[in-house]
C-alpha cells in the first residue's frame, strides 16, 4: 500500500482526538489557513448532526452501502464506532497523494493504527483538551449528543488515550488560536510536541475530573 518511491507524493496527516475535543473546529481553521491541504471526507452510517452537510463533513450513507464498499475494498481503512461505521475512501486519498497534494484525515485510533501500518511515512497527530473535565464540558456544550451518548464518548476517550503511543505528536487544544499555530507548524515544518516526550501531561489531565474552571 505504500506509494512507489519514484512518484511525486503528497503527505498524509491523520488527526485524532477524543470526541468533543474541538477537532472539527480546528480542522476547519487549518483548511482555511492552508489552501494546499485537502480534507478526506469520510463515509459514515451515522445521522448528520444539525449543520452538517453531506459531502462536506461526511458522506452520509446507509449500512448496506457501507457494507458494499467494504466488500468492494473501497476503503483505505474503516472502523466501527458508537454502533456506527466510518471509513476513508481509498481511491480519493491515493489519487490526491499521487497528485502531490497533502491530505488531512480525521480518524479514530483504530484508523490511525491502520494508516501507520499501510503508510509508515504518514504523520499521526493526537489532539486532547487540557483536562478530562474540560473534555466533558465541551461535549456537553455541543449539545448534539444525549447524556448517555456523551458518557459513551468519554469512556471511548479513555480507551483512545491509552493507545496514544502510536502517534507522532500531541496537540493540546487549550486556546484555539494557539492550537491552530501548533497544527500549522506540524504540517508545514514538521515541528510539534513529540508524543514520546509528553508523558508528564497525562496525570494532570486525568486529575481534573469535574471542577468548574
Ligand atoms: P470534535 O470535532 O472534536 O468532536 P467540536 O469541534 O465539535 O469537537 O468541538 C466541541 C465543542 O468544543 C464545540 O462546542 C466547540 O465550539 C468547542 N471548542 C472547540 N475548541 C475549543 C477550544 N480550544 N476552547 C474551548 N472550546 C472549544
Ligand atoms: P463523529 O461521529 O464525532 O463525527 O466521529 C466519531 C469518531 O469517528 C471520531 O473519532 C472520528 O475521528 C472518527 N472518524 C471519522 N471518520 C473516520 C474514518 O473514516 N475512519 C475512522 N477510522 N474513523 C473516523
Tens of pLDDT, residue by residue over 46-79, are: 999 899 999 999 999 999 999 999 999 999 999 9
pLDDT attached to residue 2: 55
Q: Which residues of 41-73 are buried (b: 16+ CB within 10 A; e: fewer)?
A: bbbbbeeeeeeeeeeebbbbbeeeebeebeeee
pLDDT attached to residue 57: 94
pLDDT band with cut points at 50, 70 and 90 for residue 7:
low
pLDDT attached to residue 87: 98
15-33: per-residue pLDDT in tens? 999 988 999 999 999 999 9
pLDDT attached to residue 150: 79
d(CA 83, CA 37) in angstroms, rounded, equals 31
Residues having CB within 6 Å of any atom of ligand 1: 17, 19-25, 138, 141-142, 173, 175-176, 179
d(CA 1, CA 132) in angstroms, rounded, equals 36
**Average pLDDT of the residues of the chain:** 92
Residue 153 CA to ligand 1 centre (angstroms): 14
pLDDT attached to residue 107: 97
Q: DSSP string of 153-198?
A: HHHHHHHHHHTGGG-SEEEE-SSHHHHHHHHHHHHHH--SEEGGG-
d(CA 156, CA 7) in angstroms, rounded, equals 39
Phi first, then psi: give them for residue 109, nearest 5 degrees: -65, -35
pLDDT band with cut points at 50, 70 and 90 for residue 212:
very low
Q: Whose CA is nearest to atom 21 of ligand 1?
A: 22
Q: Which three cell numbers stand for residue 126?
A: 493526537
What residues pair up with 169 in beta bridges, in sequence order? 125, 194
Cβ(42) – ligand 2 distance below 6 Å: yes
Residue 108 CA to ligand 2 centre (angstroms): 5
Whether pLDDT at 108 is above 70 = yes
Q: Cβ atoms within 10 A of the Cβ of 136, count?
A: 20
pLDDT attached to residue 211: 47
Q: Whose CA is nearest to atom 12 of ligand 1?
A: 138
Q: Whose CA is nearest to atom 24 of ligand 2?
A: 107
pTM exceeds 0.85, yes or no: yes
In the chain, the domains with their CATH numbers are 12-207 (3.40.50.300)
For the chain, report the end-to-end CA distance as a whole number of angstroms. 46
Q: Which three cell numbers stand for residue 180?
A: 491552530
Ligand 1 pocket, mutate which of 17, 22, 134 (most atoms under 8 A from CB):
22
Q: Which three cell numbers stand for residue 197?
A: 516526550
Cβ(134) – ligand 2 distance below 6 Å: no
d(CA 23, CA 159) in angstroms, rounded, equals 17
Q: Which three cell numbers stand for residue 170?
A: 500531541
pLDDT band with cut points at 50, 70 and 90 for residue 210:
low
d(CA 56, CA 52) in angstroms, rounded, equals 8
162-188: per-residue pLDDT in tens? 999 999 999 999 999 999 999 999 999
Give the atom of ligand 1 at the shortest distance from the alpha carbon of 18: 3
Among 75-79, 114-118, 142-146, whose mean pLDDT is lowest? 142-146
Residue 6 CA to ligand 2 centre (angstroms): 32
Q: Which of 143, 100, 127 is CA-nearest to residue 7?
A: 100
Handedness of CA 16, 21, 25, 26 (dihedral sign): negative
- Closest ligand (CA of 109): 2
Q: Whose CA is nearest to atom 15 of ligand 2?
A: 107
Amino acid at each position: 500500500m505504500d506509494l512507489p518511491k519514484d512518484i511525486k507524493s503528497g503527505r498524509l496527516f491523520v488527526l485524532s482526538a477524543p470526541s468533543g475535543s474541538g477537532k472539527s473546529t480546528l480542522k476547519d481553521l487549518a483548511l482555511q489557513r492552508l489552501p494546499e491541504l485537502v480534507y478526506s471526507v469520510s463515509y459514515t452510517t451515522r445521522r448528520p448532526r444539525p449543520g452538517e452537510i453531506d459531502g462536506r463533513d461526511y458522506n452520509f450513507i446507509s449500512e448496506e452501502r457501507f457494507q458494499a464498499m467494504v466488500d468492494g475494498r473501497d476503503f483505505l481503512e474503516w472502523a466501527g464506532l458508537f454502533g456506527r461505521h466510518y471509513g476513508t475512501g481509498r481511491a480519493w486519498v491515493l489519487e490526491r497523494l499521487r497528485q502531490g497534494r497533502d491530505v488531512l484525515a480525521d480518524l479514530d485510533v483504530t484508523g490511525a493504527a491502520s494508516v501507520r501500518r499501510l503508510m509508515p511515512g504518514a504523520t499521526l497527530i493526537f489532539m486532547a483538551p487540557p483536562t478530562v473535565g474540560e473534555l466533558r464540558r465541551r461535549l456537553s456544550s455541543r449539545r448534539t449528543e444525549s447524556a448517555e451518548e456523551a458518557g459513551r464518548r468519554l469512556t471511548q476517550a479513555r480507551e483512545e488515550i491509552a493507545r496514544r503511543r502510536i502517534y507522532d505528536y500531541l496537540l493540546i487544544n487549550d486556546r484555539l488560536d494557539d492550537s491552530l499555530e501548533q497544527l500549522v507548524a506540524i504540517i508545514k515544518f514538521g515541528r510539534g510536541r513529540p508524543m514520546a516526550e509528553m508523558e508528564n501531561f497525562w496525570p494532570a489531565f486525568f486529575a481534573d475530573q469535574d471542577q468548574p474552571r
